[in-house]
Structure 1
């Protein structure tokens, strides 16, 4: 069994509260680790659980979990939880999980889930869209698409996501979120397999020739850290490059400076505040990329 056999892998670290008197991870915590991995699997599919399940008309319910231990995990071990879907039945599917320290598997598990209509308390066939998504992901396919276009074409997708992130989550006043620039901007929206917007951003022109501005970058809170923001950002960067821009600027929330730095952006100027939130101007030279 090798780590590379699993497309979905998630890192975690053993905490003090998870170690028993023997100095090793208490056996019940292994299932908790694997459950954390299962949540990451849904993120890898591009599905925010609370948004996707109502549209799919059901939820997965665990029928069986079998664990086999090979070696103990200890305090401060860096572990990797790996999962894959091994079998798809009519109403159920089987997942194989493994817990790795380096290349060594410390434990393996078999998980059987049933697709259930919770209102009727009855199993039902796995939705075709979910079945196809499992198969596509395990075959190495892309689970998202990024659409670019005008506000008139993409508003219905982008607006609810931006409202959820900026207005509801961050407390920005509604009137501060919407402006006339939306109508002039090129928008990018990441769309999952269910047609739900999970990431968005926009590209504007500035008064300086060849200089563009990116803004309104938003990712569904359940999917942050899964690469969606990078997909949206690079779609906008590519659009700017194609129209001839040589420089891009953006005003990043201070908590997101590291994200942009990892994608070739550098801080410029002094920190400032926008709508009550600390920001930092950042820049990327496209001619150097």
Structure 2
């Protein structure tokens, strides 16, 4: 195997607790590395694993795990774990993995999962939507469907994401989450290949030529998968289409770096709202 065999890589760094008396990674930890990469692979597919398996009425169970050692990783090495779907059978999915240090191949693996009934653990055929998602990702197809529209069209799905993120995860009171602005805002909604809503945001008119983006939310298991960027791109385009030249927003401080990477800069003093630290930020839409 080489790096060109993989679309997906999970970055890792070897911790002191993972090396043995030979000062190399203890062999059992490599299976943990591959398991971490599998979780990252589902994230790259924009698939919240538990919700997806519930919708598909099954779950994946490990049938076989094989590891081949070519060279050793050592403490503090920066590693990249490549993962790809190598084969889909009737009820099985074979994942091929490889661990690289730079361009050097260290470890390879073959992981075989069986799709099965979670109650009886008897095998079932791999559902067509899951099969299509895996094959589509490996073929380089988009995993996200992004749409903009009004609350009547997108509100129910957008509300499910906002409820999970703001109300259930962050503990914001229901009465603080919902307001009359939803009725007049442009909303963006991201769905995955299973049709599940996974991200949302809204666009308001702050003042003449100035748009305001808010209520940005992506499901927790999928953060880092590009969902937030997709929402921002859709809302910024909607702002351009109506002639806005600037976008402002109130960023939670934990997300400040995310917005900085998208070209936003602080535009006022930090403040607290609903018990959460925020900072005003802005970006010009004029090229």
Q: TM-score band, normalised by the shorter chain? A: over 0.9
Secondary structure at the counterpart of residue 73 of structure 2:
coil
Partner residue, 2:215: 216
TM-score, length-normalised on structure 2?
0.99
Matches of 2:4 and 2:174, distance apart in 1: 46
TM-score, length-normalised on structure 1?
0.98
Deviations 1:6-46 (A, max 9, x none): 11111010001101111110000000000000001111111
Matches of 1:6 and 1:238, distance apart in 2: 32
Matches of 1:279 and 1:214, distance apart in 2: 14
Partner residue, 1:236: 235
Secondary structure at the counterpart of residue 238 of structure 1:
helix
Partner residue, 1:260: 259
Partner residue, 2:202: 202
Partner residue, 1:190: 190
**Deviation at residue 80 of structure 1 after TM alignment:** 0.5
Secondary structure at the counterpart of residue 200 of structure 2:
strand
Matches of 2:2 and 2:120, distance apart in 1: 40
Aligned length: 287
Q: How does 1:117-266 map to 2 (within 5 A)?
A: 117-206=117-206, 208-266=207-265
**Deviation at residue 123 of structure 1 after TM alignment:** 0.3
Matches of 1:45 and 1:78, distance apart in 2: 24
Secondary structure at the counterpart of residue 159 of structure 2:
helix
**Deviation at residue 147 of structure 1 after TM alignment:** 1.2
Deviations 1:170-220 (A, max 9, x none): 0111100000000010000110111111110000012x2100000000000
**Deviation at residue 54 of structure 1 after TM alignment:** 0.4
**Deviation at residue 118 of structure 1 after TM alignment:** 1.5
Deviations 1:83-117 (A, max 9, x none): 00111111101111001100111000011111011
**Deviation at residue 120 of structure 1 after TM alignment:** 2.4
1:277 aligns with 2:276: yes
In structure 2, the gaps of 5 or more residues are none
Partner residue, 1:4: 4
**Deviation at residue 4 of structure 1 after TM alignment:** 2.6
Matches of 1:188 and 1:78, distance apart in 2: 37
Structure 1 runs (4+) deviating above 2 angstroms are: none
Secondary structure at the counterpart of residue 286 of structure 2:
helix
Matches of 1:121 and 1:238, distance apart in 2: 47
Q: How does 1:42-191 map to 2 (within 5 A)?
A: 42-191=42-191
Matches of 1:44 and 1:209, distance apart in 2: 38
**Deviation at residue 2 of structure 1 after TM alignment:** 2.0
C-alpha RMSD of matched pairs (Å): 0.7
